[in-house]
Each structure stands twice: as structure tokens, then as C-alpha cells.
Amino acid sequence: MTSLLNRLFGRPRKGSGKTAKDRLRFVLQHDRINLPPERLEEMKRDILAVIVKYVVVDKDRVEIALEQRDRNHSKIVAEIPVVKQTVPPSPEINMDSHENNSDTPVGETEDSVDEGKPADSDAEAAAIASDDGEDTDEGGNKNKK
């Protein structure tokens, strides 16, 4: 019976067979472009370091990943949510503040918190809304809650 169900709906994807397939996918993604996992992590850090020089990024929700259709088609796909800035910060100040607060998550630097916003949670909601491409004004935030 299990065998029949497997035949109709595909195999149960547990067990070491599934693990084998996942591990193969992982290993081949890196093999095929000759970029070991550690180097990929390094690259991600470098990419982000460049981007935060110009915009404020919601660091917790950054996704930079390898995608591979087959042996000859690999791409780097990045989703890097940018935190909305109502008062455009002067680039110089922006950069300085990052250098000085390198331990602070980028999305939560002083610059990124809009004037007059009461709490952190609001800044976060704004980031989510802008990421979804929705209206990011105060009304939009209220609707979301």
C-alpha cells in the first residue's frame, strides 16, 4: 500500500535518500561555479558592505543566495530590503555613523529611525511594508496592524 501511494504521489521525502539529494544539490552549486561555501559567505559580506555605504538596509532580512537551473545556468539572487528614509541623510554623516557604530545592526542606526516615530516596531513595520511594495505611509502601517 505504501508502495502504491508512493507511486501515485511520489516517494515519501524523508530518509537518507532525501538527505543525499539535498547534500548533492548543495555541493554541486558550489562545485559548478568553483565557489566554496566559505567564499560565498565572504562575498555576501562584501556585497552588503558596499550597499550599506549608500542605503540603510534591514540586515535581518537580507537574502543573498545561489540559484542554479542546471550545470550551466547559475545566478546570484539577492533580496536586500532597504529601510525607508523620510529625511534623506547626508551621505557623509551616513557613512560616518556606520563606521562609528559597526556593531549596531544597520537597520537600527539612528539615521534609520524616522523622526517622530514613537517606537522601533514602527520602523520595522515600515521596512516590511516597503519590501512588499505596498504603500509605506503611516496609513499603510496602520492598515497592516
**Site residues, another protein (CB under 8 A):** 3, 6-7, 10-18, 20-21, 23-25, 27-28, 31-32, 70-72
Choice between 33 and 55, CB closer to another protein: 33
The answer to whether the beta carbons of residues 144 and 124 sit under 8 Å apart is: no
Kind and range of the H or E run holding 4: helix 2-9
Choice between 6 and 85, CB closer to another protein: 6
Please report how close the Cβ of residue 139 comes to another protein at its closest, in angstroms.
47
Please report how close the Cβ of residue 14 comes to another protein at its closest, in angstroms.
6
The neighbour count for residue 99, using CB atoms within 10 Å, is 9
Task: Identify the residue whose cell numbers are 557613512.
Answer: 95
Q: How far apart are CA 119 and CA 137, in angstroms?
A: 16
Please report how close the Cβ of residue 32 comes to another protein at its closest, in angstroms.
7
